[in-house]
């Protein structure tokens, strides 16, 4: 097949998929065994046949979850902004690694531009940053930075024969914090989970008590990870009291804004949810979540420590690849990274930023919050539904309320499962104070009030259906 025909064909397929991405069902559900048979993954190898290749593409799309669909309410991302999708395609067709200026000149400058823009926006003075593979990785690099600040020799000597280090996070913090504690050699038992208050924020008396106990026992509190928007509940840890504790205990204060950090684009919401952020030591934010940039797209920012990434991340002989000048200017961003090959994520963010601007992003986030308020009201007004806990920000933790003789947890699991299998909608779950909750997240520009009404009506109808089956 001629190259032009291949691209024409591809464009037709993409255009058709994109046109239909928010109609029909969001998925034709199959159990893994059935899907395996339908896909026939063992078929046709090494044929160099473009027709066959496109039939694989068609199969993929036929069974793919339409994440732009308004019934896809499951995750912190949904679909993707078209400018960043274009960026992703250009990154794929030019296929390079954003680790050196030589191989990725434009992306290097775009990433630097983007970092400067974000440092200014967050108001980190004399800072630095990096695009990482996501907030999991960013949380780990922040923890490494905190560890190395306590003792720069840890990079060479490891944690052997050191005083014991302890990190502290909200008990509802993302699991990537535990994984970071594992990877950096801290050990998960040295990551203290601080109980939360009624709002799902780290309890400050509990944190202070644990800090005191650790210090009295000879341990060193080196890191506190605040969460700006906890994964299930959407709680924002309070930064001002944490900053006051930092004065006394000298730990590193990192803010995990993977989800709720998006409020920095709106002056009003930033004042409401993230006051004092500019005094934190580091901050991470996923563009690929609420802001809608194509997966993966993240930034990790450091305050007032311009060379921290070099100090923390670089190791080993990199002379074969990096050509950084002697003037201190970092030309090759890979020299500050834990990876060698780096995807060109900067182009996606750059195109979104140029297309929507700060105002566009702010409007989007503010609108999502209005919709979350609306969704909470719908739950409160529906007799069969209830909030598991009041809404803190963007997360709506609710459930169907079956009669008292029916176990609420298994009922809600069945309800969610049925809606998924029917291709009606997919909503998240999680636990709040040990209780199962359905977690509605609105991060889809195709979702507005009618879609929210439709979703809740679907939940209510499915609940009634399940109840009548149980009674018959
Ligand atoms: C609060 C929080 N932090 C970190 C992460 C991990 O982000 P990523 O998927 O970019 O690694 C998540 C993901 O859901 C999250 O909710």
Q: What is the pLDDT of residues 172-200, one digit of tens each?
A: 999 999 999 999 999 999 999 999 999 99
Check pocket membership of 233 for ligand 1, CB cut-off 6 A.
no
Residue 12's pLDDT band, with cuts at 50, 70 and 90, is very high
Check pocket membership of 258 for ligand 1, CB cut-off 6 A.
yes
pLDDT of residue 65: 96
Of all residues in the chain, what percent carry a pLDDT higher than 90? 94
**Higher pLDDT among residues 112 and 328, named by residue:** 112
- Give the residue among 138, 168, 175 at the shortest CA–CA distance from 312: 138
Average pLDDT over residues 427-449: 96
Q: How far is the CA of 131 from the centre of ligand 1 (A)?
A: 14
- Give the residue among 95, 108, 111, 174 at the shortest CA–CA distance from 140: 174
Choosing from 75, 258, 284, 299 the residue with most ligand 1 atoms within 8 A of its CB, the one to mutate for a pocket test is 258
Q: How far is the CA of 34 from the centre of ligand 1 (A)?
A: 31
**What is the phi/psi pair of residue 219, to 5°?**
-85, 165
Q: Is the pLDDT of residue 1 over 80?
A: no
Beta bridge partners of 170: 194
Check pocket membership of 134 for ligand 1, CB cut-off 6 A.
yes
Q: How far is the CA of 229 from the centre of ligand 1 (A)?
A: 10
- What is the reported pTM? 0.97
Check pocket membership of 76 for ligand 1, CB cut-off 6 A.
yes
Quick: pLDDT tens for 268-293: 999 999 999 999 999 999 999 999 99
Whether residue 103 contacts residue 96, with contact meaning beta carbons closer than 8 Å, is answered with yes
pLDDT of residue 46: 83
Q: Is the pLDDT of residue 151 over 80?
A: yes
Average pLDDT over residues 239-256: 98
C-alpha span between 64 and 138 (Å, rounded): 29
Check pocket membership of 148 for ligand 1, CB cut-off 6 A.
no
Q: How far is the CA of 375 from the centre of ligand 1 (A)?
A: 23
Of all residues in the chain, what percent carry a pLDDT higher than 70? 99
C-alpha span between 398 and 444 (Å, rounded): 19
Q: Is the pLDDT of residue 221 over 90?
A: yes
Q: How far is the CA of 230 from the centre of ligand 1 (A)?
A: 9
Check pocket membership of 286 for ligand 1, CB cut-off 6 A.
yes
pLDDT of residue 383: 97
Beta bridge partners of 243: none
Per DSSP, the three-state class of 255 is strand
pLDDT of residue 326: 65
Average pLDDT over residues 22-43: 94
Beta bridge partners of 383: none
pLDDT of residue 104: 97
- Residue 472's contacts (CB-CB under 8 Å, 6 or more residues apart) are none
Average pLDDT over residues 224-228: 98
Check pocket membership of 132 for ligand 1, CB cut-off 6 A.
no
**What is the phi/psi pair of residue 266, to 5°?**
-110, 120
**Higher pLDDT among residues 42 and 370, named by residue:** 370
- Give the residue among 423, 396, 394, 196 at the shortest CA–CA distance from 289: 394
Q: How far is the CA of 161 from the centre of ligand 1 (A)?
A: 33
pLDDT of residue 327: 63
pLDDT of residue 208: 98
Quick: pLDDT tens for 34-79: 999 999 999 878 889 999 999 999 999 999 999 999 999 999 999 9
Tell me the average pLDDT of the chain. 96
C-alpha span between 109 and 114 (Å, rounded): 8
Check pocket membership of 135 for ligand 1, CB cut-off 6 A.
yes
Check pocket membership of 231 for ligand 1, CB cut-off 6 A.
yes
pLDDT of residue 444: 94
Quick: pLDDT tens for 372-422: 999 999 999 999 999 999 999 999 999 999 999 999 999 999 999 999 999
pLDDT of residue 328: 67
HSE of 188 in the Cβ direction (CA atoms, 13 Å)?
A: 7
- Give the residue among 282, 285, 298 at the shortest CA–CA distance from 349: 298
- Residue 233's contacts (CB-CB under 8 Å, 6 or more residues apart) are 172, 200, 389, 392, 395, 397, 430, 432
- Residue 422's contacts (CB-CB under 8 Å, 6 or more residues apart) are 29
Helices (H), 135-284: 135-150, 154-157, 176-183, 204-216, 239-249, 267-273
Strand locations in 54-123 (E): 72-73
Phi-psi bin for 22: left (phi > 0), alpha (psi -120 to 50), beta? Answer: alpha
């Amino acid at each position: 097949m001629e190259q032009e025909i291949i691209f024409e064909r591809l464009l037709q397929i993409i255009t058709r998929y994109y046109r239909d991405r928010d109609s029909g069902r969001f998925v034709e559900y199959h159990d893994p065994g059935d899907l395996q048979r339908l896909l026939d993954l063992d078929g046709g190898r090494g044929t160099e046949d473009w027709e066959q290749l496109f039939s694989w593409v068609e199969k993929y799309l036929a069974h793919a979850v339409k994440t732009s669909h308004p019934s896809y309410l499951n995750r912190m991302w949904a679909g993707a902004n078209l400018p960043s999708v274009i960026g992703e395609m250009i990154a794929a067709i030019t296929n390079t690694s954003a680790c050196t200026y030589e191989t990725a000149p434009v992306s290097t400058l775009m990433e630097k531009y983007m970092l400067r823009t974000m440092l200014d926006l967050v108001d980190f003075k004399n800072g630095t940053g990096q695009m990482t593979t996501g907030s999991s990785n960013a949380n780990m690099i922040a923890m490494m930075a905190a560890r190395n600040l306590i003792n720069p020799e840890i990079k060479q000597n490891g944690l052997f024969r050191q005083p014991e280090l302890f990190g502290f996070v909200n008990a509802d913090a993302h699991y990537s914090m535990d994984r970071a504690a594992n990877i950096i050699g801290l050990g998960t038992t040295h990551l203290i989970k601080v109980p939360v208050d009624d709002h799902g924020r780290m309890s400050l008396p509990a944190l202070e008590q644990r800090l005191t106990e650790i210090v009295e026992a000879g341990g060193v509190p080196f890191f506190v990870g605040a969460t700006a928007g906890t994964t299930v509940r959407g709680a924002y840890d309070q930064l001002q009291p944490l900053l006051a504790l930092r004065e006394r205990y000298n730990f590193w204060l990192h803010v995990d804004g993977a989800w709720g950090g998006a409020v920095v684009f709106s002056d009003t919401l930033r004042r409401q949810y993230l006051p004092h952020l500019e005094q934190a030591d580091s901050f991470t934010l996923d563009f690929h979540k609420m802001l809608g940039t194509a997966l993966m797209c993240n930034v990790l920012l450091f305050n007032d420590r311009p060379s921290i990434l070099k100090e923390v991340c670089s190791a080993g002989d990199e002379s074969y690849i990096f050509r950084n000048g002697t003037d201190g200017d970092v030309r090759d961003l890979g020299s500050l990274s834990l990876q060698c090959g780096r995807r060109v994520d900067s182009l996606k963010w750059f195109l979104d930023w140029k297309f929507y601007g700060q105002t566009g992003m702010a409007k989007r986030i503010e609108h999502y919050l209005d919709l979350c308020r609306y969704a909470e009201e719908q739950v409160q007004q529906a007799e069969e539904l209830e909030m598991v806990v009041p809404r803190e920000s963007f997360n709506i933790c609710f459930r169907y309320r079956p009669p008292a003789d029916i176990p609420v947890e298994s009922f809600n699991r069945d309800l969610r499962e049925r809606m998924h299998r029917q291709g009606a909608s997919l909503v998240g779950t999680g636990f709040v104070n040990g209780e199962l909750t359905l977690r509605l997240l609105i991060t889809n520009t195709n979702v507005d009030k009618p879609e929210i009404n439709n979703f809740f009506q679907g939940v209510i109808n499915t609940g009634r259906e399940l109840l009548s089956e149980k009674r018959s």
